[in-house]
Each structure stands twice: as C-alpha cells, then as structure tokens.
C-alpha cells in the first residue's frame, strides 16, 4: 500500500506563545520547530501499514525550505521519501495550502492512502485534508483514532487501478473514531483519504541509524506560489493571563489550619 502523509512545520512553544511586534504572527526567532502530534501519529501509522503490507511511504510538506527538517524527521521514523513544496516564508491559508499540496501530488504516483493530521498544531483550521480529498475525488474520514487494513483485502503494489479508481473489492480499510456515545466504524475502499488524531498510536522515536539515513536522503522539491485563499489573519492576541500563581499555605503541619480554611471556603467540609 503506497501512502502519502501530509505534515506541517509548526513552532514548538512553551506555556506562553510569543508574538511578533505587529501582532500578526508567532515570533519564532527563539523557537524550535516540530510536526504536530496528529501528524506524528499519521507518519507512525503509515510506516506501520507499509511495514505490514508492503508499499512506500511518502511524506509531503508545504512551507519554507527549512520544512525539510520535518520531512527528515519523518524519514528518520521510517518514511521512504520526502516531497517539499517550497512556498517560501509566507504563511498560507488552508485554500492556498491545499493548492500547494495538490501541486506536490501532481508528479507522484497516485497513492492508495492519503493521510493527514486532523488539524494543524498551530492554525488548527482542519480544512486542508478535506479540500485535497475533494479535489482528488477521494472519500475522506476525519477524527480517526484507529485504522486497520482488512486482512487479505489489501491490494498489492500496482494492483490499484490507475488514476486512483476504486478497487473492485470494496472496503479494504476499517477506520474508527471515538464519539461520546461509542465508536464509529467506517469501511473505506482505497484509494481514500483519512485525517487522524493523536491517540491513534504511540509514535516511535527516530533511531540513530534512521536519523543518519534521513540526513542523507534526497528530497524532491517542487516550487509553488499559490494564489492566496479567502482567509486572512487580521491579528493575534494573547489571552489575558488570569492563572493565579500558587499560594503556599505554610510549611509542614503548620499549614493544616490554612488548608482546612480553604476547604471550608470551597464548601467541602
């Protein structure tokens, strides 16, 4: 099963998100970058599926040249090749991002499975997967926290009809997702798209040999300058810091009366 996983380079920040002076973006000068937890699970799932059923895993990202770092991280986890759609340093809205993803997919053989994170770790619009799937004419299920390939029903490499047409034997994947009322189960024919959520699996840490291999891997770069979409950022504001600091009530046994007072105040005693 050939799989393409779309990932996004996002800043890794602490409790407080630093903003640029104009308030239009996150100030990333002193931040590291990562891929979001949903996408990390997507890469892990793809690597496992390919290991179990054969096929190749391609990771694709849209962003600046530096996003190659995130592709290599995924390669170190076990993905086979990386595609960087270089759109420069401008932040893209979901529409433009989807256009860029499609540009990256254009020269790739059509995959059996297109994996997304349910939403990016920074913007969190949750649109790109749906937009790309729609443009490709693929069915998509979002919020997925479990994927199983139906045993024996997975097409061999190359057994998939050209142009991503649905295979004859119907459902080949079982995707599940949690709802407050229970678990929803979807049967999917490949090719298909799935957007996954953290909790799907426990992503592995890259091994040292994996990192070395990833470092040497050649990335395919596609340059793309998509038209801006309809969504614009007008400004970012940090929420008021209303978290009260911890108030020590005392030390050792001396603190007991104060603890009782607090509990009384809360109506617990």
Partner 1 sequence: MTEIPERADIVVVGAGIVGNSVCHHLAELGWRNIVLIEKGPLPDPGGSTGHASNFIFPVDHSREITALTTDSMRQYEKLGTLISCGGVEVAREPARVEELKRRMASARAWGVDAELIDPGRVAELVPFVDPDILLAGFWTPSVAVVDPLRAGALMREQAIADGALTVAASTTVTGIRTDGGRVQRVCTDAGDVETSLVVVACGVWSPRIARLAGGQIPLTPAVHQMMDVGPIPEFEASGTAIAYPIVRDMDALMYERQSGADLEIGSYAHRPILHEPDEIPSLAAAALSPTQLPFTSEDFDPQLEQALELFGSILDRPDAGVRHAINGLLSLTPDGAPVLGPSPEVDGLWSAAAVWIKEGPGVGRMMAEWLTHGDCEFDMHGADIARFYPHQRTREHVRARANEGFNKTYGIVHPREQWESARGRKLSPFHARERAAGAVFFEVGGWERPHWYESNRDLLEEFGDRIHDRPHEWDARWWSPIVEAEHLALRERAAMIDLTAFAQFDVRGPGALDYLQRMTMAQLDRPVGRICYTPVLTPGGGFRSDLTVVRLAEDRFRVITGGADGARDRFWFESHLPADGSASLVDVTSAVCTLGLWGPRARDILAATTEDDVSGEAIPFGTARWIAVDGIPVLALRVSYVGDLGWELHAPFEQGQALWDAIAEAGRPHGIAPAGIGVYGTTGRLEKGYRLMGAELDAEYDPVEAGLALPKVKAADFIGKDAYLAAREGDPAATLCTLTVDDHLGAEGIPRYPQGGEPIVTPAGERIVDRKGRGSAVTSAGPAPSVGRHLLMAYLPPEFAVEGTSLQVEYMAERYPVTVARAGRTPLFDPDDTRMKA
Site string for partner 1, 149-188 (x = CB under 8 A): ----------------------------------------
- Report the phi/psi class of residue 84: left, alpha or beta, with left for phi > 0 and alpha for psi in -120 to 50: beta
Distance, CA of 127 to CA of 124 (rounded, Å): 8
DSSP helix/strand/coil, 36: coil
| Cβ-Cβ contacts under 8 Å for 3 (sequence gap 6 or more) | 46, 49, 50, 55, 56, 57, 58, 111, 112, 113, 114, 115
Q: Does 33 participate in binding partner 1 (rule CB under 8 A)?
A: yes
Q: Does 230 participate in binding partner 1 (rule CB under 8 A)?
A: no
Q: Which range touches partner 1 (CB under 8 A), out of 148-156, 176-184, 198-206, 222-230? A: 198-206
Q: Check: CB of residue 82 under 8 Å from CB of residue 115.
A: no
Q: Is the bond into 2 cis (omega within 30 degrees of 0)?
A: no
Question: Which of 181, 182, 209, 230 is close enough to bind partner 1 by CB under 8 A?
Answer: 209
Binders of partner 1 in range 68-87 (CB under 8 A): 69, 72
Q: Which range touches partner 1 (CB under 8 A), out of 6-14, 157-165, 192-200, 255-263? A: 6-14
Of the pair 57, 224, the CB lying nearest partner 1 is at 57
Q: Does 32 participate in binding partner 1 (rule CB under 8 A)?
A: yes
Q: How many residues does this entry show for the chain?
A: 269
Least spacing, CB of residue 204 vs partner 1, in Å: 6
Q: Check: CB of residue 166 under 8 Å from CB of residue 189.
A: yes
What single DSSP character describes residue 51?
H
Question: Which of 145, 204, 217, 249 is close enough to bind partner 1 by CB under 8 A?
Answer: 204
Question: Which of 23, 90, 183, 215 is close enough to bind partner 1 by CB under 8 A?
Answer: 215
Question: Which of 21, 107, 205, 239 is close enough to bind partner 1 by CB under 8 A?
Answer: 205
Q: Does 235 participate in binding partner 1 (rule CB under 8 A)?
A: no
Binders of partner 1 in range 50-69 (CB under 8 A): 69
Least spacing, CB of residue 202 vs partner 1, in Å: 11
Q: Which range touches partner 1 (CB under 8 A), out of 24-32, 92-100, 124-132, 252-260? A: 24-32
For the purposes of burial, counting CB atoms within 10 Å of the CB of 156, is it exposed (0-12), middle (13-18) or buried (19 or more)?
exposed
Of the pair 30, 237, the CB lying nearest partner 1 is at 30
**CA angle centred on 72, ends 134 and 103, rounded to 5°:** 30
Residue 77 burial (CB count, 10 A): 23
Binding footprint of partner 1 on the chain (CB under 8 A): 12-18, 30-33, 69, 72, 204-209, 211-212, 215, 245, 247-248
């Amino acid at each position: 099963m050939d799989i393409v996983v779309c990932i996004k380079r996002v800043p890794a920040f602490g409790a407080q998100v630093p903003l640029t002076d104009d308030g239009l973006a996150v100030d990333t000068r002193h931040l590291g970058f990562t891929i979001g937890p949903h996408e990390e699970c997507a890469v892990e799932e793809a690597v496992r599926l390919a290991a179990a059923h054969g096929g190749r895993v391609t990771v694709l990202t849209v962003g600046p040249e530096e996003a190659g770092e995130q592709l290599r991280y995924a390669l170190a986890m076990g993905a086979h090749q990386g595609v960087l759609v270089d759109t420069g340093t401008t932040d893209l809205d979901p529409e433009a991002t989807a256009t860029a993803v499609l540009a990256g997919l254009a020269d790739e053989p059509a995959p059996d499975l297109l994996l997304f994170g349910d939403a990016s770790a920074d913007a969190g619009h949750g649109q790109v997967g749906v937009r790309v799937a729609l443009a490709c004419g693929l069915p998509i299920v979002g919020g997925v926290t479990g994927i199983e390939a139906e045993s024996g029903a997975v097409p061999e490499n190359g057994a998939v009809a050209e142009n991503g047409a649905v295979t004859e034997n119907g459902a080949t994947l079982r995707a599940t997702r949690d709802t407050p009322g229970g678990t929803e189960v979807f049967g999917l024919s490949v090719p298909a798209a799935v957007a996954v959520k953290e909790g799907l699996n426990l992503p592995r840490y890259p091994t040292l040999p994996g990192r070395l291999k990833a470092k040497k891997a050649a990335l395919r770069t596609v340059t793309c300058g998509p038209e801006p979409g309809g969504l614009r950022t007008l400004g970012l504001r940090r929420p008021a810091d209303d978290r009260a600091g911890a108030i020590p009530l005392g030390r050792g046994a001396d603190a007991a009366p104060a603890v009782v007072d607090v509990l009384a105040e809360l109506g617990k005693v």
